[in-house]
Amino acid sequence: MNNVIVVFLKNLTLGKVKTRLAATTGDQKALEVYGQLVEHTLNQVIAPAQDTVLYFSDSLNEDLPVIEKEFSLRLQKGSDLGERMSNALQEVFELSAQKVLIIGTDCPGLDSSIIEKAFHALDTHQVVVGPATDGGYYLLGMKNFHQCLFEDIPWSTSKVLELTLQKCASHKLSYKLLIELSDIDDENDLDSWNALQKVNGSGES
C-alpha cells in the first residue's frame, strides 16, 4: 500500500441517514440524497494509483452503487467519531500505507482533483486538511499516524477545525489547507448546493 483513502460512510438504511435533512424533507428523500452523495464520493476515489477502504457504520451487508472498482470493506470501531477515525487510520498505517486520507460522504464539492492535491500536499507537509464551512473538515490526511489529532475534540461542532489546527501547531506538525467546501447536513445546505449547481450550469458567475 502506498496511497490509501479511507471513506467513512453510514449504511444506506431508511430513517438512519441524514436525520437533520430528514426532519424537514422526510426519511425517503434524505435516503435518496445520501445515496447520491455516496455514489458521487465513490466515483471520486477510483483512481488506480490509490487503494480505497470503506468503513461502514453498522454492517458490511451493503447495497452499494455500481462503481467500476473493488473496495476493501471494514467496520468502524469506537465509541465516538474521533475514536472510530483514529482506529481506522491506525489499522491502515499498520498495513504499510505511506500516505492516508480520510473522508466522509457528505461533501458534493469534493472531487478527484482535490484528492490528488491532498496526496501531493503530503510530499511537503505532515498533515493536510480540507476545511468545511461549518467549522469541521471534509478531509484529513497524514503520512504518519498522529493520535493527538483525535483526542479532546468536540466532534460535530464548529470547533473541530480550529482545535485540530491548534493541535498541529502545538505538536509542531506542518499542515496544508485545501479549498473550503460545504457539507450537506440539512435542507438549507441542500438548497444552497442545488442553487449553486443551477448557476454553474447556466454559465453565470
139-151 per-residue burial string, b: 16 or more CB within 10 A, e: under 16: bbbbbebbeebbe
Q: Is the pLDDT of residue 204 over 90?
A: no
Q: Is the pLDDT of residue 66 over 70?
A: no
The tally of domains found in the chain comes to 1
* Contacts of 39 by beta carbon, 8 Å cutoff, 6+ apart: 65, 67
Dihedral in degrees, nearest 10, Cα atoms 184, 117, 173, 81: 30
Q: Is 205 contained in some domain?
A: no
Cα–Cα dist 40/34, whole Å: 10
Region 90-106: mean pLDDT is 95
Of residues 203 and 100, more confidence is placed in: 100
| CATH code of 86's domain | 3.90.550.10
Q: Which range marks the domain in which residue 44 is found?
A: 3-200
Q: Which three cell numbers stand for residue 22?
A: 430528514
Q: Please state whether the predicted TM-score (pTM) of the whole model is above 0.75.
A: yes
- State pLDDT tens for residues 19-57: 989 999 999 999 999 999 999 999 999 988 899 999 999
Which residue in this structure is represented by grid cell 483526542? 151
DSSP 8-state assignment for residue 149: G
Cα–Cα dist 19/15, whole Å: 7
Q: Are 51 and 5 in contact (CB under 8 A)?
A: yes
Q: Which three cell numbers stand for residue 153?
A: 475534540
Half-sphere exposure of 33 (CA within 13 A, CB side): 27
Cα–Cα dist 158/180, whole Å: 14
Q: Are 105 and 41 in contact (CB under 8 A)?
A: yes
Q: Are 1 and 92 in contact (CB under 8 A)?
A: yes
